[in-house]
Structure 1
């Protein structure tokens, strides 16, 4: 096949794949609980709360000496649903993937698409700890990309906590393991140097409020029912 015909074909395939992965949120963001109204802004740098943030940043740096914990923090830097699903599979007790558990992946992807942190990040544009202290992180290749991306709240924690709440509702028996793993995911952002502790803590409250709101959406409850049925069917095999 001539080269000039191969390039358009590749473009068609890429566009088709992108369209196939277009995930629709359950509800528009303007209908979700507004953290700018119900949750306080990040701590002022002169406050006692910020001193705690600094203390936790120092704790995070000290944890990098633990090679296993540092490796986990690096591994948990992923944010795409497929990679997250693979990592959450162990605490969940079952492989989670588009091929193995399509109904579970659907509700995870749509929930993440609905529960986002970008609105709040852009509003506050809080400076990240590694940038404020001009120090390296555990993931240097991410530093330039995230330097001008607001720190409050933590987007990685928002995604991990969303994953956790969805998965716990599907498999309540795995609640302790899944929630512990999601908690560690948030702390990994402190250890890696990309977030303050208050960024991580805010993320969990924002997700919890949004997740409660999702239960008022018939499409979400229907997808959750399908996901639970899929899980029960696979668990009995």
Structure 2
């Protein structure tokens, strides 16, 4: 599940978590500080993969099997791969040209580091999302990122699909990371899995904002095509992984409890009329060109 500056923030099911995960889903301690500052929030003991790195809700053996769920990626001579190539070309030449607003939005969406990633759905929710203002929701996003992202890795490791910028000898929207992410399988997209998992979870937390949330979740996945780091089929199947992961999460009582707490927390924040912590006008303008 490669992100800017990182090669692989989530470990494969056959290996221990790599150092990159520390950066992609780092810094848990602030949650306790936020709880201490607000006596209505009770500190929650969150399991960790290593000090400062929260675990997901699902044990490795409880995660859906992405190899069993997904077909192999499109063959090189297939109509499906021809569509992948056409979509990538349209992104580079039309709706997400390098330097365009949509390209720049893809760069923002590529960053899965927290706290930056916490505000991804702030505009869609019409509310701020941060460790200080919504600590339970903040941690819910971090933990579900781990679950959705890790679930992609059996298929990633099995197929080791070449990324578009490598196959087409072009540049991505995050050139500093290309040497690292080129070694990480393209299929399915970890970012798309995380973004769609977040969207599905957030529609349950704020159902009245469901259309905006789901549209943002879709656009988050399409940003990977805009960036040149995933094929459309990678993104599509990333969403399938997300749906399977969220369905499985609902059988976990800790997730269910945290979901309810995050819902209550967000409702309280929204009653205060606090603005989102993103530039929503700029985001809307950039995403207006989303295919």
Pick closer, same or farther for the CA change 1:85–1:114 going to 2, 3 Å.
same
Determine which of 175, 178, 182 is the counterpart of 1:147: 182
How far, CA to CA, are the matches of 2:264 and 2:52 in structure 1?
23
Q: What is the match of residue 113 of structure 1?
A: 146
Tell me the alpha carbon deviations over residues 25-74 of structure 1, each in whole angstroms, 9 at most, x when there is no partner.
21213212212112211111111111111111111112233822122112
Deviations 1:103-149 (A, max 9, x none): 11121111112222223211211000110111122221121111111
Equivalent residue number for residue 227 of structure 2 = 192
Q: Distance in 1 between matches of 2:104 and 2:255?
A: 35
Q: Distance in 2 between matches of 1:16 and 1:55?
A: 42
Q: Is this contact kept in 2: 1:214–1:220, CA < 8 A?
A: yes
Mapped pair 1:102 → 2:130: no
Contact 2:174 2:227 in 1 (8 A): yes
**What are the ranges of 5 or more consecutive residues in structure 1 without an aligned counterpart?**
1-13
Q: Paired residue for 2:76?
A: 45
Structure 1 residue corresponding to 2:96, chosen from 61, 64, 81:
64
**Does the 8 A contact of 1:35 with 1:206 survive in 2?**
yes
Shift of 1:152: 0.4
- DSSP-derived class of the 1:115 partner: helix
**Contact in 2 for aligned 1:81/1:108 (Cα 8 Å):** no
From 32, 36, 54, the equivalent of 1:23 is: 54
The SS at the match of 1:188 is: helix
Offset of residue 100 of structure 1: 0.5
1:216 to 251, 258, 269: 251
TM-score by length of 1: 0.88
Using the size of structure 2 for normalisation, the TM-score is 0.72
Deviation at 1:15, TM superposition (A): 10
Give the drift of 1:96: 0.5
Deviations 1:85-113 (A, max 9, x none): 12321111111011110111121111112
Question: 2:109 is matched with which residue: 55, 76, 80?
Answer: 76
1:145-191: CA deviations, max 9, x gaps? 11111000111111211221121111111111111111111111111
- For structure 2, the 5+ residue unaligned runs are 1-25, 30-47, 273-291
Q: Which has the larger radius of gyration?
A: 1
Cα RMSD (Å) of the superposition?
2.1
For residues 123 and 28 of structure 2, the distance between their equivalents in structure 1, rounded to whole angstroms, comes to 32
Q: In structure 2, what is the Cα distance between the partners aligned to 1:70 and 1:232?
A: 33
Question: Which is richer in helix?
Answer: 1
